[in-house]
């Protein structure tokens, strides 16, 4: 494409809320054969709400207060859900020390003299905490309903399972269908629970799902798609997406996402909705056609 047609193309995209960092990204987008999308915050609102507290023989309010206190230091959308739920219930959020976040796993800290950990099942595995069979069964049941189960450990013991539900973005289903109609392979790549991810993928019409992947696993997923299909675009919003955004032939960040994701991307979808993604694909094809 000529420099002029690229300038016109990126200018038009910007008016539609899609910022191309440079013209070569517009050219590369035309070559893309597969689009991989992160789930939380990309295909879903990323504003999950606490729906369940399963805490046999424990005080649910106390558990929520401890967990929410640890989450006050996390940027994860799941953290915001738990902090909001505690605030709505008027629960105290005491002081926190020894905070630690492990990307794609969860968070830990010390609150009111107790060791608190919350996150995916592998977070507790990593801490060497034995999992309770009853709570695991509850987590499976909640995931089957499309919710994300979070495991809580208190003082090294598996104490509770919380669940959060995150609504799918209203335009996501249509955007996925539109991308597929343009001949693109559409895949979901997520750190979330497999059953939760498959439930969400099913309702979006996505058949290729990589679930329970760590940030490095998202890079692997991009490479695997490239090996099978050709050039790959990755769309994401989180810190955990930054490596995959950098690895992809075209990395597209959700503009409402974290700074690190935006900085790692070639393209920014300013409004955070997926409609402009389809428009950007169309534009990349149109601009390249114009100059023939
Ligand atoms: P996604 O790819 O869907 O955006 P992430 O890779 O960010 O998901 O997180 C994967 C999983 O790690 C989450 O589903 C959750 O189980 C756990 N996790 C990560 N951060 C936190 C946190 N701050 N609090 C609780 N759980 C967390
Ligand atoms: Mg995300």
**Mean pLDDT on 233-254:** 95
- Confidence class for position 9, pLDDT limits 50, 70, 90: confident
Predicted ipTM of the assembly: 0.92
The fold adopted by the segment(s) 49-165 is Calcium-transporting ATPase, cytoplasmic domain N (3.40.1110)
- Confidence class for position 287, pLDDT limits 50, 70, 90: confident
CA nearest neighbour of 153 among 58, 49, 51, 50: 58
Annotated domain spans of the chain? 3-45+168-290, 49-165
- Confidence class for position 116, pLDDT limits 50, 70, 90: very high
121 within ligand 1 shell (Cβ under 6 A)? no
**Mean pLDDT on 185-214:** 93
Give residue for tokens 């539609």: 16
120 within ligand 1 shell (Cβ under 6 A)? yes
Residue 189 CA: which ligand is closest? 1
Share of the chain above pLDDT 90, in %: 79
Q: How far is CA 257 from CA 42, 147, 153, in A?
A: 9, 21, 29
Identify whether the C-beta of residue 78 lies closer than 8 Å to the C-beta of residue 48: yes
**Mean pLDDT on 119-135:** 98
| Radius of gyration (C-alpha) of the chain in whole angstroms | 20
Q: Which of 70, 76, 136 to probe ligand 1 with, by most ligand atoms within 8 A of CB?
A: 76
Distance, CA of 65 to CA of 85 (rounded, Å) = 9
Distance, CA of 31 to CA of 249 (rounded, Å) = 9
Of the residues 22, 38, 166, 249, only one is catalytic, namely: 38
pLDDT in tens, 205-220: 999 999 999 889 999 9
User: How many other CB atoms are there within 10 angstroms of residue 271's CB atom?
Assistant: 13
Would you say the CATH fold of 49-165 matches that of 3-45+168-290? no
- Confidence class for position 6, pLDDT limits 50, 70, 90: confident
Distance 119 CA to ligand 1 centre (A): 7
The CATH homologous superfamily to which domain 3-45+168-290 belongs is: HAD superfamily/HAD-like (3.40.50.1000)
Of all helices (H) and strands (E), which one includes residue 235? strand 232-236
Handedness of CA 135, 216, 46, 64 (dihedral sign): positive
């Amino acid at each position: 494409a000529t420099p002029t047609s690229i300038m016109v193309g990126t200018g038009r995209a910007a008016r539609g809320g899609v910022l191309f960092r440079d013209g070569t990204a517009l050219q590369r987008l035309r070559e893309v054969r597969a689009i991989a999308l992160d789930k939380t915050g990309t295909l879903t609102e990323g504003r999950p709400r606490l729906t369940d507290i399963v805490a046999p023989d424990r005080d649910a309010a106390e558990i929520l207060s401890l967990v929410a206190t640890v989450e006050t230091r996390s940027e994860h959308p799941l953290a915001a859900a738990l902090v909001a739920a505690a605030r709505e219930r008027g629960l105290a959020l005491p002081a926190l020390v020894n905070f630690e976040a492990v990307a794609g796993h969860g968070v830990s800290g010390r609150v009111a003299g107790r060791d608190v950990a919350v996150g995916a099942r592998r977070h507790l595995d990593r801490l060497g905490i034995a999992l309770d069979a009853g709570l695991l069964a509850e987590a499976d049941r909640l995931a089957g309903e499309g919710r994300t189960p979070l495991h809580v450990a208190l003082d090294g013991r598996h104490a509770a399972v919380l669940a959060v539900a995150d609504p799918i973005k209203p335009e996501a289903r249509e955007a996925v269908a539109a991308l597929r109609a343009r001949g693109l392979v559409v895949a979901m790549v997520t750190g979330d629970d497999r059953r939760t991810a498959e439930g969400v993928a099913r309702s979006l019409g996505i058949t290729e799902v990589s679930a329970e992947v760590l940030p490095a696993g998202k890079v692997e997923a991009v490479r695997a798609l490239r090996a099978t299909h050709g050039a790959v675009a990755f769309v994401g919003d989180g810190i955990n997406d930054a490596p995959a955004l950098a690895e992809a032939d075209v990395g597209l960040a959700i503009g409402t996402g974290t700074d690190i994701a935006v900085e790692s991307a070639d393209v920014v979808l300013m409004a955070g909705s997926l409609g402009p993604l389809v428009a950007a694909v169309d534009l990349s094809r149109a601009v390249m056609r114009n100059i023939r």
